[in-house]
Amino acid sequence: MRPHSRSFKNNASAALKDASLQLALGGIKNGFVANRAKARANLPEFEDLRDEARAVKEHALAHLDLYLEEYEKKVTASGGHVHWAPTATDAREAILDICRKAGARTVTKGKTMVGEEIAINDHLEGAGITPVETDLGEYLIQLRNEPPSHIIAPAIHLTKDQVEADFRKIHTTLPYDRVLEEPAQLVAEARTVLREQFLAADIGITGANLLIAETGSSVIVTNEGNGDLTQCLPRIHIVITSIEKVVPTLEDACTILRVLARSATGQEWTTYTTFSTGPKREGDPDGPDEYHVILLDNGRTEMLGSEFHDMLRCIRCGACMNHCPVYNAVGGHAYGWVYPGPMGAVLTPSLIGIDEAGHLPNASTFCGRCEAVCPMRIPLPKLMRHWREREYDKGNTPLFYKIGLKLWAFMARHPRLYQGLTGLAMPALARAGRRRGRFKSLPFAGGWTRHRDLPAPQGKTFQQLWRERGQIS
């Protein structure tokens, strides 16, 4: 998808006025957030497990080259193929090449955020191949021609009523007067429609939550079982994933899986955790004839060892956005690209550039709730601040804002001057506001007073009063 992160403010403004979006977002608090809290409370060693999971990823990243080569060897030994893709274009070409060689017409897809990152659906369609999303959420947004708004719940911005209306509009072969009141009925209908697609597909594309160097396996976690059908039924299975997903051992993968589901949905384990190792072997009852892994870099190597290195630990659980007051207010589409919320605010500028994505690391209150819940203990506010520093150094900070900041900083660096001027200004402001105690509007304070009153100062500054009391220090 073409990014529109530049218009974050307008996107956010529209999102705040979208009543059905606001209704949908209202469910996060009692859903993901409450469930994660319960899961955490039920596992006394959860905090230790976070440290362990973090250490696994740190180790893997410190020896990324070794583990990736080891992983490739194991995949090859099991009869699969690894395609290294330095850029999104390389990844798309590798996929299209496999599709062309196979003469594929239909491709089923499990949920893959890396697939979104390289906009694979658009390119498949461009090549005359029909991509069919099989994850319910992805299926819903594909019907609506929308991008995902959350990394684990792509259609979280939709209400049940909207889904029902879409199904009636699009599944025209089914009787119109069928009952579609309960979520379970909607899921059953999607399942019926998708079942035919699974059987017709030439190729199945999935993502990977983890890659295991020791075994050459890719791992996906799902709750619908669609991933299994996507990768087992078609003749060819393509895994599209990125280089930082590799961990050394099966044991390491399990450590991460234990924090992943709990952080994401509050489940101990997702319903399906599927390990894929190469194509069908002789004697295997099912599985694909060909197994391909596309390993995307797309700027990640640049992040290694940089001030954004910690971001490569991300396991895409979505806890940061679930707990983010900004995400909860505006939803994922406002962020304007594939990855929303705090993790997106750090990752997006790395992948599509700070000039396009400059708003994202700025649109945060730095409340720190994302870092507090991140299973991999990624210091998200700190990384967002690094982006602000880069912007400031590049001169991207708006001039009006920068002048204000510089004036204030000059004053603050000269205490006598600062105290002299504030000692004049505050009593004057206090006289103007004393009776009401607040201002409805004030010059240069429109950003504040458009939505809230500005409390008036009490009178003299503390420094003035303290000196007047003869307290010298």
Partner 1 sequence: MMAKNKKTQAKPKVGLFVTCLVDLIRPSVGFASVKLLEDAGCEVEVPRAQTCCGQPAYNSGDKSDARALALATIEAFEAYDYIVAPSGSCAGMLKHHYPDIFSSDPALAKRASAFADKVFELVSFLVDIRGMTQVDARFSGTVTYHDSCAGLRELGVKQQPRKLLSSITGLTLCEMEESEVCCGFGGTFCVKYPEVSNAIVEKKSANISASKADCLLAGDMGCLMNMAGKLYREGKTMQVRHVAEVLADMTDEPPIAAGEGTDS
Please report, as ranges, the residues that interact with partner 1 according to CB under 8 A: 9, 12-13, 16, 29, 325-326, 329-330, 362-369, 371-372, 382, 385, 387-393, 397, 401, 405-406, 408-409, 411-413, 415, 418-419, 422, 426, 433-438, 447-448, 450-463, 465-467, 471, 473
Is the CB of 168 or the CB of 460 nearer to partner 1?
460
| Cβ-based nearer residue to partner 1, 128 or 404 | 404
Looking at beta carbons only, is 176 or 444 nearer to partner 1? Answer: 444
d(CA 80, CA 278): 5
- C-alpha 41/C-alpha 230 separation (Å) is 35
Which residue, 165 or 412, has its beta carbon nearer to partner 1?
412
Q: How far is it, in rounded angstroms, from Cα 473 to Cα 465?
A: 13
Q: Smallest gap, in angstroms, from Cβ of residue 156 to partner 1? A: 17
> CB-wise, 55 or 372, nearer to partner 1?
372
Distances (CA, A) of 228 to 94, 189, 198, 221, 294: 23, 19, 10, 10, 18
User: Which CB atom, from 291 or from 335, has the smaller least distance to partner 1?
Assistant: 335
- For the chain, the first-to-last Cα distance in angstroms comes to 61
| Smallest separation (angstroms) from partner 1 to the CB of 422 | 6
**CB of 270: closest distance to partner 1 in angstroms?**
27
The nearest distance, CB 466 to partner 1, in angstroms, is 5
Name the packing angle between helices 46-62 and 64-77 (round to 10°): 90
Phi and psi dihedrals of 80, rounded to 5? -95, 175
Least distance in angstroms from the C-beta of 16 to partner 1: 5
Choice between 78 and 463, CB closer to partner 1: 463
Residue 89 or 441: the one with the smaller Cβ distance to partner 1 is 441
Q: d(Cα 18, Cα 11) in Å, to the nearest integer? A: 11
- Sequence-distant (6+) residues with CB within 8 A of 363 are 8, 12, 326, 345
Token representation of residue 37: 């809290």
Six token digits for residue 354: 């700070």
Quote the CA–CA distance of 348 and 342 in Å, as a whole number.
10
Least distance to partner 1 from the beta carbon of 353, Å?
16
What are the CA-CA distances from residue 109 to residues 121, 208, 270, 411 (Å)? 9, 12, 19, 58
Least separation in angstroms between residue 340's CB and partner 1 is 13
Cα 391 from chain centroid (whole Å): 22
The least distance separating partner 1 from the CB of residue 357, rounded to whole angstroms, comes to 15
Q: How far is CA 135 from CA 4, 138, 182, 201, in A?
A: 25, 5, 18, 15
Considering the complex, what minimum distance in angstroms separates the CB of residue 64 from partner 1? 25
363-394: buried (b, 16+ CB within 10 Å) or exposed (e) per residue?
bbeeeebbbebbbbbbbbbebbbbbbebbeee
Q: Which of residues 225 and 415 has its CB atom nearest to partner 1 in the complex?
A: 415
